[in-house]
Structure 1
Amino acid sequence: MNSIRTPLTSALLLAIGSPLAAHAAPDDANADSASGSATDLDRVQVRGSWFNPSSPKFTAELLDTPKSVSIVPEKLISETGATSLQDALRMVPGITFGAGEGGNPTGDRPFIRGFDSQSNIFVDGLRDVGSQTREIFDLEQVEVVKGPSSAYGGRDSGGGSLNLVSKTPKLKNETRASMGVGTDSYARGTVDANHVLGDGIATRLNLMKHESDIAGRDAANVSRWGIAPSIAFGLNGPAQLIASHYHMETDDLPDAGGFPYSNPFPANSPNAGLNGDGSPLVPDRNNYYGLKERDFQRTRADISTLDASYDFGGHKLRNIARLGNTSNDYLWTQPDDSKGNPNLYGTLWRRTNSRAVDVKSFVDQLSLTGRFETGALQHSYSAGVEYSDEKMRRGSYLMSPGTNNPLTNGTSCPTTGAATGWNCTDFDNPNPNDPWAASHLLYRSDKALDVRQTTLTRSAYLFDTIEFTAQWSVNLGLRYDDFSTELVTPVAGQAPTRVRHDSDFVNYQAGVVYKPAANGSIYLSWGTSSTPPGMDGGDGSDGLTTAVADLKPQETTNIELGTKWDLFDNRLNLTAAAFHTVMDNARVTIDNGTSQNAGKKAINGAEIGFTGQLGDRWSLYGGYTWLDSELKDIGYVCAAPVGRTCPGGVYVPSPNNGNLFPNTARHSASLWSSYTLPFGLTLGAGATYSDRQYGDVANTKWIPGYTRWDAMASYVLQDNISLQLNLQNLTDKTYFTKAYASHYAAIAPGRAATLALNVKF
């Protein structure tokens, strides 16, 4: 932890130590709403409608865009007390989160409409490669584009994508600062300072420092700090230039492991009778099975962006370029790895997962946007080219001796304690303070043997919204991607092995919009996506292997019927959509043991959403999503007879055909509402609900559904000073947020309270 006590930290603490202070959220918009003045909801309106995506690839207002897009505004982030991307996305139904381990990294892993979208995260419209646990102190809003969206961003998993909108300089002098304290050693400070330097020139600086334990969990804690300076020129003219840098570091004792499933033994095992129902085993929700002397997660992000644009008579030429450098290093304890020690002996084997990865990237996007007429037709267009170069380098952490039990020369743990090398612990009463380091050496793997992957992408796109009449328009989008990736695996004393995939693909978005009234629309749209082998660039859940390198990209299509309405003088936005999504050439094992594009999975769904500022004092946000998923054909599995092994054995159709998608809740919903009383007190409350989720394609390991309640109260002390109290997980509900495929489920934090002093001047 001492490594982060930098001069910057001291400066930050000095800046926020005065009576400025504020909340867990980075930039506390609530002071405005609490005083009854103009709301933040009003300020983020862009083109005459409710919240709109920031990307110029959306060539119509959100009301007239034939696609489902959910936007989490800064006001909601602040009121709910969110401090991470996962916190912010909690209020968007239809998004769940997957867990990671070693090869599949620990970090932000959202599932959108049932598809893993870990590699579909963008910052200001540019793909943000590299596994991370992202903060929100420098975010203006979070945009969720649902359904296949390769036309917008290139390679895509099929469920949708996230775009994180950064804070940039504005032509006003304003500083917001915050200081928050709370239960579980919570302490957080943020500063957001915007200053006008001259004619059209402004700077903005965002700072953050955060320390806390994890509510309801022994030992685990988080520590992070960040700085995001930016400067803009020409904000009042046609030529603009914005230069920015984002830096964040974390140093956590991670709580990734959670609890093992209750059914570790195969159905034909002699111990199958000891299996439970497949839900996690939880003797005590506070139990932490890791080791303070061993476990860690340290991440770093450095992202520099240069955004230049010129507006010439209704057309804008823009170039945005970014250099990124991120790292994700960790070693943490995975509880028992499906070995069954809790069932057999009441003990647990402390398996470890580790990763040491660095990702460097360069992305450049040149675009032209504007409007023109062809006869009676009105066109709003966006055209551009993109280039990206991603380089990943991945190693791991090793231990000597390893994590096996020396008494059994394996993973069986009939006993615990020093004789097991502290690799076995009591399941009911683990001790995270066990002196593991006294008898073990921990070191990083040889960097000369790091796996390396390089990914190059060249793209071109064109979008056009064509207005035929005031009632009818069509939205068309087309994108071409030339994708190339190579994986190099060094082998000691031998030539490295190389695996390469090259492909190009075309994707499109097409929709027709009918407006029965100026404030409403009905649309029908069709969209596609392509998921090539090596989609993750070497740092995600869709890796490149020799088995899949020669296969075509997986293709996903989506048809969607929806409607959007702005009601009550644009104070309430309602959306509804029904959709059918199919991936019909999924990569699966066929009956000869090879991988082919022969699988199919589909999901039918419906969703509703509402966002409102009903009067100056009452705000409302929420929605509901229903997802009916089916693994229609996931190929063949080995059914080798006695004495034979696959691929020489027999392959039979997977018994899991017809099952539900993993990490996908059939029903999910959210609601948040706040109301400001005349004397400056704002009260807010909300709930999130998620149905049962399966971790595996066999649908035998699962986490139960849950409802979580949260509340807040904010009081204006003066025009520019307020106090805000947030109560997270109000009922101290024990529930799980992530289900890994085979080994464990990640438990959610318990009840927590934070109190923040917010100041704006």
Structure 2
Amino acid sequence: MSRHITKTPNSSPRLLASAIGVAISASSVAHMAQAAEETEQKGERNSISLGATSITGQEQDATSYQTEKASSQKYTAPLVDTPRSVTVVPAQVLKDTAATSLQDALRTVPGITFGAGEGGNPQGDRPFIRGFDAQGDTYLDGVRDTGGQSREIFDIESIEVSKGPNSSFGGRGSAGGSLNLVSKTPQARDFLNGGFTYGSDQTRRYALDVNRQFLDNAAFRLNLMSHEQNVAGRDAVNYDRWGVAPSLTFGLGTPTRVNLSYYHMESNDLPDSGIPYGYSNNASNAAHVHDKPTDGGDSSNFYGLKDRDFRKTRADISTFSIEHDLNDNMTIKNTLRHGSTGQDYVLTQPDDSQHNVNQFGTVWRRANSRVSTTTTTTNQTDLFGNFQALGFKHSYSTGLEFTGEETRVSGYTVSPNANPVCTVAGGGKGGQCTSLSNPNPDDAWTGSVARNYLGTNTKATSRAAYVFDTIELDPQWLLNVGLRYDTFDTEANSNAATGRTKLKDDSQFFNWQAGLVWKPMENGSIYTSYATSASPAGGLVGEGVDSNAIPTGINTSDMKPEETVNYELGTKWDLFHDRLSLTAAVFRTEKKNARILVNSNTYENAGESRVDGLELSASGKLTEQWQVFAGYSYLKSELVDPGKNGNRQGVVTAGSNKGNEMPNTPKNSFSLWTTYDITSKLTVGGGAFYVDDVYGDAGNTVYVPSYTRYDAMASYKLTKNVDLQLNVQNLTDKTYYDKAYGAHFANQAAGRTALLTTSFHF
């Protein structure tokens, strides 16, 4: 076998895990007495130990599931007075549910599903919000976080989910909503939090969160994480990663504050190859007709190859920000960020292009590969505050943003990687065919993997100006408005064996939002709102295939950005002495000028899709001992005018998807997580999560079935400095699928997983 790659041994993160574990143990013993005494003397409070994910709260009640205000200054009113659906997953929910990844955390937010990566879509987070692909709509502290990633949350304080078209906040994309990850930052006090998690399937996780105030107004914070695990109910799959995130702040408590931070994470995995879709018809030329995944009778089956498959990722993000209070009512802030993310993988896609699964009980081990690097530099300046004018109070935020992005994508030449008719397991050159019911991941790979440097280099430049204002017309009426103007220029240069191609697109677009809020009482509001979004061609800058990508060989210089609008009517209330937040909203989201294929190689902005929905949520304390974080989402989606069916090269194919449901859009989804403090030391909790059937494709020919998953937890405070927490995820060991792809396969979720976390906090 010839390889031009070097696979990092899986032992590297495990060595780091051991090192961090030893450091944690040593630190806890050495500092216990001294830190405990200092903590008493300084009156430290509101510290949360997350064990596997350690988070320290703010001066407000850090243990509450309720959040009163979003972190971004673009939200110019408290959440109860914000005329749109916003869900914040706070630190305590992350802790109690033992979440370690973005996908773990968002399980508690109904209306969000995750799509699978394949082909032009890289492996990593691909959320769908209200039925619309949001893989390019994730932000870190208000700045777009680009590149295909599987995001960790060891350095994350909370996650803000804004639903509905949101381009006035973030620019391009955001048709269904956006995600904002809020980082941990230095605090004006000393603390040391940490923990280690041991669990089933060789799960080992170590985390350390240290904050030191070294001057009257300066502090340093360091977060470390190491994580390794196999996956319950899945053969061969394993994940190893580690991360470090130092940050430094000067000027705490003064008019001028400077923050420097750096984030680094690496992973080295044997990724899950998924489960192939079966066919309702055994004929050799049958098409999918409402087909679901089939595992040959054993849900643990892994169709990849240990000797060939791997996935390595890297993320490096450096941020410098300076914030100055010009006066009591006006603040200016500048943020400069440079980020680089990379992926490197060869993985197996269980393929049935020759209808092998039903005819012969075999699967083709198709190899997908990617080597990509995305670099982004952003400078963002914000001016925000409040003032009185013409008798009205204004809470405003305005700013400028400049961003340059570049993505380089290539891959590997895997040989052989033909499309064999797998009549028998072990057939095909190089062992490409395996058994559906009894695959062997230890099969020898006799082919070759060589680096292929031909690929695509995509560059983009964007410039934007925006303004937001909440106007208090009188104590009961608020008007919320926002406007943003963007220019987005992108160019893609592809090098292939057949020659070079160059594609470019220049777009300019306005987006706006407006909402009217009526406050019948101080603790509640009723609102109506309208918002827009725009998705220009090539908006993912080479890191994915969106509905408005630049198709190869087709001139799209005159294509307009796709436009999405949202109409929403909702109400929000803070009850039980403002301890519990309740929300309800009905909405219609329409994409009115989607780019569709009208004839071979001819596209027009004429398509339409629509989602009508209802959302309910509850977060906070029912009593001092009882907390709840719950939600329900109803999404009725329709492809009103999807155009003609066609492939990526613009060739028309047979059939029509008109009237079908949108992919990755469950009609009903529900989540409930609740905890109860039985005593001052003992807390118990549990959760239930339901998701309806989800189609993987616009033709509604493949789907993953509905499921209900149950979780449970119990935590006990051994001392004021040491806690124990037990989580059992997927309590009934339910076999279900959490990602649907449009063809070939779906991803299976983990089986029953038990996690025991020991946390310390000083």
- TM-score normalised by structure 1 residue count: 0.92
State the secondary structure of the residue aligned to 2:357. helix
The residue that corresponds to 1:407 in the other structure is none
Structure 1 residues 297 and 14 mapped into 2: Cα distance closer, same or farther (>3 Å)? same
Q: Aligned equivalents of 1:38 and 1:120: distance in 2?
A: 29
Q: Aligned equivalents of 1:360 and 1:28: distance in 2?
A: 29
CA contact (8 A) 1:656 1:698 kept: yes
Match of 1:40 among 62, 69, 82: 62
Report whether the alignment pairs 1:336 with 2:334.
no
* Stretches of structure 1 lacking an aligned partner (at least 5 in a row): 405-409, 640-644
Shift of 1:262: 1.4
Structure 1 residues 38 and 385 mapped into 2: Cα distance closer, same or farther (>3 Å)? closer
| Structural mapping, 1:486-635, within 5 Å | 486-491=491-496, 496-542=500-546, 543-545=549-551, 546-547=553-554, 548-591=556-599, 593-635=601-643
Q: Aligned equivalents of 2:650 and 2:116: distance in 1?
A: 29
Q: Aligned equivalents of 1:593 and 1:264: distance in 2?
A: 33
Q: C-alpha offsets along residues 201-241 of structure 1, whole Å, 9 cap, x if unaligned?
A: 00100000000001100000000000000000001101000
| Structural mapping, 1:302-451, within 5 Å | 302-313=316-327, 314-399=329-414, 401-404=415-418, 410-417=419-426, 420-436=429-445, 439-446=446-453, 449-451=454-456
State the secondary structure of the residue aligned to 1:312. strand
Shift of 1:13: 2.9
CA contact (8 A) 1:176 1:191 kept: yes
Q: Aligned equivalents of 2:496 and 2:311: distance in 1?
A: 27
Q: Aligned equivalents of 1:426 and 1:360: distance in 2?
A: 41
Report whether the alignment pairs 1:181 with 2:181.
no
Shift of 1:3: 6.9
CA contact (8 A) 1:612 1:619 kept: yes
| Structural mapping, 1:139-218, within 5 Å | 139-218=156-235
CA contact (8 A) 2:303 2:365 kept: yes
Report whether the alignment pairs 1:26 with 2:33.
no
Report whether the alignment pairs 1:261 with 2:270.
no
Structure 1 residues 7 and 199 mapped into 2: Cα distance closer, same or farther (>3 Å)? farther
CA contact (8 A) 2:290 2:700 kept: no
Q: Aligned equivalents of 1:605 and 1:595: distance in 2?
A: 29
Residue-pair matches, total: 728
Structure 1 residues 679 and 585 mapped into 2: Cα distance closer, same or farther (>3 Å)? closer
The residue that corresponds to 1:723 in the other structure is 724
State the secondary structure of the residue aligned to 1:741. coil
CA contact (8 A) 1:98 1:738 kept: yes
Shift of 1:743: 1.2
Q: Aligned equivalents of 2:305 and 2:280: distance in 1?
A: 23
Q: Aligned equivalents of 1:551 and 1:329: distance in 2?
A: 33
State the secondary structure of the residue aligned to 1:56. coil
Shift of 1:25: 3.6
CA contact (8 A) 2:695 2:704 kept: yes
Q: Aligned equivalents of 1:646 and 1:566: distance in 2?
A: 52
State the secondary structure of the residue aligned to 1:13. helix
CA contact (8 A) 1:39 1:616 kept: no
AA partner of residue 676 (structure 1)? D
The residue that corresponds to 1:667 in the other structure is 668
State the secondary structure of the residue aligned to 2:718. strand
Could you tell me the percent identity over the aligned residues? Answer: 47
The residue that corresponds to 1:466 in the other structure is 471
State the secondary structure of the residue aligned to 2:153. coil
RMSD: 2.3
Q: Aligned equivalents of 1:182 and 1:194: distance in 2?
A: 28
Q: Which moved more, 1:450-459 or 1:589-598?
A: 589-598
CA contact (8 A) 1:204 1:231 kept: yes
CA contact (8 A) 1:672 1:686 kept: yes
CA contact (8 A) 2:167 2:533 kept: yes
Q: C-alpha offsets along residues 715-740 of structure 1, whole Å, 9 cap, x if unaligned?
A: 11001111000000000001000110
Q: Aligned equivalents of 1:58 and 1:435: distance in 2?
A: 56
Match of 2:480 among 456, 475, 483: 475
Report whether the alignment pairs 1:97 with 2:114.
yes
Report whether the alignment pairs 1:280 with 2:286.
no
State the secondary structure of the residue aligned to 1:517. coil
Structure 1 residues 28 and 685 mapped into 2: Cα distance closer, same or farther (>3 Å)? farther
Shift of 1:376: 1.5
State the secondary structure of the residue aligned to 2:77. coil
Q: Aligned equivalents of 2:152 and 2:650: distance in 1?
A: 45
Structure 1 residues 566 and 506 mapped into 2: Cα distance closer, same or farther (>3 Å)? same
Q: Aligned equivalents of 2:496 and 2:719: distance in 1?
A: 66
Q: C-alpha offsets along residues 680-713 of structure 1, whole Å, 9 cap, x if unaligned?
A: 1110101110000001111111111000000000
Shift of 1:544: 2.2
CA contact (8 A) 1:23 1:755 kept: no
Q: C-alpha offsets along residues 734-755 of structure 1, whole Å, 9 cap, x if unaligned?
A: 1000110011111110001011
AA partner of residue 40 (structure 1)? A
Q: C-alpha offsets along residues 91-143 of structure 1, whole Å, 9 cap, x if unaligned?
A: 00000010011311111000000000000010000001100000000000000
The residue that corresponds to 2:34 in the other structure is none
CA contact (8 A) 1:288 1:430 kept: yes
AA partner of residue 603 (structure 1)? V
